[in-house]
Chains A and B, each alone.
Chain A
Amino acid sequence: MSSIAASSSSIAVLLSGNEAIAQGAREAGVGVAAGYPGTPSTEILEALVRSDPDREVYVEWSSNEKVAIDVALGAAVGGTRALTTMKHVGLNVASDTFMTAAYTGARAGLVVVSADDPGMHSSQNEQDNRFLARFAGVPLLEPSDSAEARDLTIAAFELAERFDTPVLLRTTTRIAHARGLVTLGERRAPSRAGFVRDAAKYVMLPGFARRRRVVLLERLEALRRHAEETPLNRVELRDPAVGVVTSGIAYQYVREALPEASVLKLGLTHPLPEALVRDFCARVGRVLVIEELDPYLEEQLRALGVAAEGKRFFPRAGELSPDGVRAGLRAAGLVPAGTPRTPAPAPATAARPPVLCPGCPHVVPFLALRQLGAIVTGDIGCYTLAASPPLSAMDSCVAMGSSIGMAMGLVRSGGASGPVVATIGDSTLLHAGIPALADAVANDTPLTVLVLDNGTTAMTGGQSHPGAGATIRGDGAPRVDIAALCRALGARSVTVVDPYDVAATYRALEKAIASPGLSVVITDRPCVVAPVKIRDTPFTVAAERCIACQLCMNLGCPSIVWADERYEGRHKVAIDETTCTGCAVCAQVCPTDAIALVTEGAPAHAG
């Protein structure tokens, strides 16, 4: 982690794929970088900032991925190399610009990084974004480890300028968050080629766009010819009986599971080098395509008339793994089926789903919503965890900003059996919630919008956003006032409440639900984990007062555990003082006042 901050040298250092992309961008002389945080892409811009103490590069967390790609495109049109980073679903948001940036190209290199999340470790879907490169008609690069992440980032900028096109650099979790050895090169100061007015290229009026569409198609043909020759695509001829066509992380699994097989290793996977593929397939016996997620390469090989086998043996759902590749090879009869390892049996263990942290300010609003019988449309953020027990207070979560629009639809469906409440975090509201809130106001929708304002983009580790009052470099910045924003959009009932005040939060939500038309409740408390850890005096349980009612256990707080001691057969509770943040919420819900501050509580209850 510290290695990228060190000055470049010829020795190999351990970098994650994300750090290697930042390093590659610096070596390519990137001048502007913009993105929206999202696992597994987040660390690219953070590493870029760490690598740039002299502030040669302009780096920002944008309010969403569409803004980020617009910033990057504008920078590239302005003549400096530009990078934009996002997770796979972020490219959906940016796709409006992405599809047409393929027409305009740019003056300096524009590289778009999409970090996909096969297996959905931290995502709502596992879409295979290689199809978006093909859809837009832009070249697609797929690194297979950290060293290639650096190399292909540099290659992406060169390709972008040589062919005057945006380039999609697509990683997956096991590239982005895997560390490997990377040999560093010299960083370059940002290129500054300057802006040159060219309306026919950058003003996509239909008349100009029709011409650029033809340019795009001609460019794709030139790129196809380039793909045949580039060293990014290479043939590794070994045993000719089996030839594997592969890309990305799957290449690494293939090399271990089938070390003797011939491999066509593709680094540039759009446009496909058709002659190279045909030639390779003619030189080997059986052709297998081994790729993570969808049959992107396999279908194109089939369209070329190659009898390629792939998804028949290898999973289309979930993350590929060494075990998954071996299982597929067994099914294909390429490795002996006998004696698969039988792992040692383990005793039963406790499941450990992710939970809201001790002291999380999102807990109380959801406790209240459950008790108020609300139908709750959720959104993307830590608070999505409120869908799980014991809060169990969320009924939908689909995409960034969807909560408000879906709540409007639920109201208009006439099918809602209770009050409808949309819940959305501050970063998500500023990302994609504002248009929906304006819509709800303008259409006078009887609806409550609960904005969970913790001042940061928490789930991804505490990145700044326009309401956070800081830049990615930690500098102070003007901040959007969310309550004033809601009022400016036309919401007449806007209440700000402290979610650590249990009674006030209940009352605010009750009142908002009962009020006619659109109401907004904003819970205002900083995240206790990021960007800074917040700790106050912890609380403790006076065991002699605890009647084991379990009311505090309904908070789902990881600091509250069962004590060995029981009352009428039920466990009393205890508080782990090393993790308790002192939020005081449990002390407020306790019906017997058994929970008190550690310092005051002990003597007070002694008598």
Chain B
Amino acid sequence: MPAESGSVLLVGVGGQGVVLSSAVAADAARRSGFDVKQSEVHGMSQRGGVVSSHLRYGPLVHSPLIGAGEADAVVALEWNEGVRAIPALRPGGTLIVSLDRIPPPSAFVDRHGGAVAYPAVAPDTLRRTVPDVRAADATSVAAAAGNARAMNSVLLGILSPLLPFPAEAWDGAIAANVPRAALEANRAAFAAGRALRFPAAPAPGTGRPRRRAPAEPPSVGSVDIVDAWCKGEDCAICVRACPEYVLGFEPDARPVRAVRPDACTACMLCEILCPDFAITVRRAAVPAGPSLVAAETT
């Protein structure tokens, strides 16, 4: 990383502490005598969305934003966000990434096939694209240092040798920005991160990586209704219970109909709950086709 100026992109999930981490690094730059600008977005993204903070330092900094492919380093507090931020790196840049994975609810939408839309945690694979990947089980490192929640300070510790900021600038910045109650834990986590050596292949089983489940046939069903036994809209237990909104009523209100038949996953709730035994769910064997979302990528 150039000594006189640089750009660091910090990314993570709303609530992880991206903004605080970036404030610490920016303050360390200031304490080292650099001009510095830092930019992030507040508001809706803090509701579990992607949070990113741009940090730039140098003798005179104009833009608070880093151009695409111009970041010297990316610091990612979460695996998926680290992978997403790779295009922000300049050639030869460093990806510092936590092995923590926070799959968003939208990763679990393939109800038939069960494919999880989340990139596999595989630092070695990433090194084909980004030679300098510094992946760490930051949460475990922080826990060992005293407090798992100081995970972001572990990552700042890993970042620190890459930046021309003296140790006292980092320490002063941590002391000035981290809440007092968490200060010692964050100092210890920072030191533990700074002591890590790279490249190091992560130990197997760290960072809660997920084994790829063996391929399963998709779970698909179809619903048979005995019209004469269905009480219709006055009951509607099956309509309320169906997790896939398969069942509904035509305007005549009786009997119940499969209004989204393709969505049935054969969970059997309607059959089990129908007080009149009017529903039979049949599990269908369907030919394996492309699933609704990409399978776990490697």
Contact = CB atoms under 8 A, between A and B. Distances in A.
A554 B263 CA distance: 14
A153 B103 CA distance: 43
Nearest to B113: A569
Contacts, number: 232
B88 interface: yes
B67 A569 contact: no
Interface string A32-59: 0000000110110000000000000000
Given A549-B243, A591-B269, A181 B35 contact: yes
Nearest to B149: A578
B48 A558 contact: yes
A547 interface: yes
A589 B114 CA distance: 21
B276 interface: no
Chain A interface size, as a band, is 35 or more
A342 interface: yes
B106 A347 contact: no
B181 interface: no
B47 A357 contact: yes
Contacts of B45: 121-122, 354
Q: Is the interface of B mostly helix, strand, loop or mixed?
A: loop
B39 A179 contact: yes
Nearest to B178: A2
Contact of A350 (B90, B104, B216, B267): B104
A351 B108 CA distance: 11
Interface string A158-184: 000000000000000110011111000
A322 B108 CA distance: 36
Contact of B63 (A177, A322, A351): A322
A197 interface: no
Interface in B1-49: 13-14, 23, 26-27, 30, 35-49
A557 B105 contact: yes
Nearest to A322: B67
A232 to B, nearest CB: 18
A349 B44 contact: no
Nearest to A120: B44
Contacts of A39: 42-44
B117 interface: yes
Interface stretch (A23-31, A126-134, A250-258, A305-313): A250-258
B47 A321 contact: no
A101 B35 CA distance: 40
B67 A323 contact: yes
Contacts of B147: none
B81 A352 contact: yes
B2 to A, nearest CB: 15
B216 A344 contact: no
Contacts of A598: none
Interface string B114-146: 101111000001100110000000000000000
A591 B269 CA distance: 8
B42 A40 contact: yes
B62 A2 contact: no
A349 B84 contact: yes
Contact of A354 (B36, B44, B216): B44
A429 interface: no
A7 interface: no
B89 A553 contact: no
Given A344-B91, A355-B48, A570 B114 contact: yes
B213 A566 contact: yes
B26 A355 contact: no
Chain B interface size, as a band, is 35 or more
Interface string A248-283: 010011011000000000000000000000000000
A558 B104 contact: yes
Given A2-B176, A180-B36, A591-B273, A253 B114 contact: no
A347 B97 CA distance: 15
A352 B13 contact: yes
Given A39-B42, A42-B42, A349-B83, A354 B49 contact: yes
Among B114, B211, B294, max chain A CB count under 10 A is at B114
A89 to B, nearest CB: 13
Contacts of A556: 105
A1 interface: yes
Nearest to B294: A348
Contacts of A561: 103, 108
A341 B69 contact: yes
Interface string A531-557: 000000000000000011111011011
A461 B37 CA distance: 24
Contacts of A558: 48, 102, 104-105
B240 interface: yes
21 contacts: A42-B42, A43-B42, A145-B37, A174-B39, A252-B62, A326-B67, A341-B68, A343-B88, A346-B129, A347-B83, A349-B84, A349-B119, A352-B106, A547-B268, A547-B269, A549-B267, A549-B269, A550-B244, A551-B243, A553-B111, A564-B211
Sorted from nearest, which 8 A-B pairs have the closest CB atoms? A122-B43, A39-B43, A343-B87, A569-B219, A354-B49, A346-B86, A178-B64, A178-B39
Interface of A: 1-3, 12-14, 39-40, 42-43, 121-122, 145, 173-174, 177-181, 249, 252-253, 255-256, 321-323, 326, 341-357, 370-371, 382, 385, 389-390, 459-461, 547-551, 553-554, 556-558, 560-562, 564, 566, 568-571, 591
Given A252-B64, A326-B67, 14 more contacts: A43-B42, A121-B43, A179-B26, A181-B30, A341-B68, A346-B85, A350-B103, A350-B119, A351-B117, A354-B14, A354-B45, A389-B106, A459-B44, A566-B114
